Structure 1
Amino acid sequence: MKDTPKHQGLRNQLAKLLEQKGITDKNVLDAIRKIPRHLFLNSSFEDFAYQDKAFPIAAGQTISQPYTVAFQSQLLDVKKEHKILEIGTGSGYQTAVLCTMGAKVYTIERQNELFKITSLLLPKLGIRPKHISFGDGYKGLPQYAPFDSIIVTAGAPFIPPALMAQLKIGGKLVIPLGEEHQIMTMLVRKNESQFEKHEFGEFRFVPLLEDKN
């Protein structure tokens, strides 16, 4: 697991590209510069790791495009020590970005194969989420609620009520909503019963899987 000056140079170029595409949050860009994305990919993709593209990972899932990771992270407006629930650990790259930004990350993955790979990989890279679990993202992690923010990294046909309930007042829930194509949606919790909704254009995600058992 090597991280070389060449990789660092490619990361700097990637951060510059994301800035040109409209990412302005310095903490997000710093995290992109620090995290060795090539180590989250199958070695056959290593040469392409710092292109702004999504790639396949285990269990028929994908590692999101860096712009998408940066865009969602920027929407969350992460502050140090923020308690964040991530639905869909996936490769662990988004988890790593949030941890590097100083957040306390609680993350949940539906695919057992991915859960096993990622729970071993993150500590090897010195990235330690507060909690990583295998389970149903639609249910969230009520035992650790409430959260300052919640990020969903898969396309959802609707906003799971359990996740809305686990959000702090003033907190943000960022979720790609839709079946074929998704609209990046942010809910801001105004009080116990009211949420303000904002939409940020079209993205493409793998579907959020529900435990039907």
Structure 2
Amino acid sequence: MSSISSKDTPELKELRAFMVKEQIESRGISDSKVLFSMENVPRHLFVPENLRPYAYEDRPLPIGMNATISQPYIVGLMTELLELKSDDRVLEIGTGSGYQAAVIGKISAEVVSFERIKELVSFAKENLKKADIRNVKVFFGDGTDIPEDLGEFECAIVTAASPDIPKYLFRYLKEGARLVVPVGNQCVQELLKIKIHRGKPEISYHGSVRFVPLIGDKGWN
């Protein structure tokens, strides 16, 4: 396929269905809400136009500014770990192209996302508009040093490699909230799920991953 337009054609829907079946469901992602969302969010709208022919392949893709859109399986895994409900508010650190937020937004009530690269803020907002995702709010700013007037969230997700568990996000999380974050050095990390139970974090581990580093006041310099 030499080129792909922004129109969501039957051929693209077929490619997306194949992606979900072969790359995501076959590897153990079973949450029907996640599978439905990923089959209905047009991933090709969230990559640079010259990379659209590769949008449904099993790999991350560069989106400029030393950032990437994650491999579809990783997006599915992190979304499933959030245990999303339809009335959840979700905090995202690292908007990127907006794809992860769009997948979450198809399931939850609201996504509040922070991106520190101004060009990517514009890119994500444009992509979300094209995909008709209206419950994602994208803000320009350091996601490791966000305002204190955001209210509370049922979920949070960090889409870049954090040097440590981001305890600074705990104050935004309700009892029972879920936080998914890759933690480790700048080469390889462990994907963590942290659940707030009786005010304390319960941590589980979900395999090795590789993300670009989280840059910010409480990230990597």
Q: TM tier, shorter chain?
A: over 0.9
Contact 2:180 2:192 in 1 (8 A): yes
Identity value in percent: 41
Answer whether contact 1:172 1:189 (CA < 8 A) is retained. Answer: yes
Report the Cα offset of residue 143 of structure 1: 1.3
Task: After TM superposition, give the deviation of residue 48 of structure 1 in Å.
Answer: 1.3
Residue 21 of structure 2 corresponds to residue 25 of structure 1: no
Residue of structure 2 equivalent to 1:83: 89
Judging changes above 3 Å, is the alpha-carbon distance between structure 1 residues 140 and 175 closer, same or farther for their aligned structure 2 residues? Answer: farther
Q: Please name the residue that 2:173 is paired with.
A: 167
User: Structure 1 residues 9-18 or 115-124, which shifts more?
Assistant: 115-124
The alignment status of 1:101 with 2:107, answered yes or no, reads yes
Trace 1:19-58 onto structure 2 (pairs within 5 A): 19-58=25-64
Give the count of matched residue pairs: 212
TM-score when normalising by structure 2 = 0.91
What's 1:125 paired with?
Answer: 131
Q: Secondary structure of 1:200's match?
A: strand
Matching residue within 170, 182, 194 for 1:187: 194
Q: CA deviation at 1:33?
A: 0.7
- The one-letter code of the counterpart of 1:198 is S
The 1:130/1:63 distance shift into structure 2, 3 A limit, reads closer
Shift of 1:45: 1.5
The residue that corresponds to 2:148 in the other structure is: 142
Q: Give the letter for the 2:109 counterpart.
A: A
More helix by share: 1
1:78, 1:140 → 2: CA distance?
Answer: 23
Aligned to 1:64: 70
Uncovered stretches (5+) of structure 2, i.e. residues with no partner: 1-5
CA shift for structure 1 position 130: 4.5
Structure 1 outlier segments of 4+, above 4 Å:
none
Residue aligned with 1:188, SS: strand
Equivalent position amino acid for 2:171 in 1: A
Alignment gaps of 5+ in structure 1: none
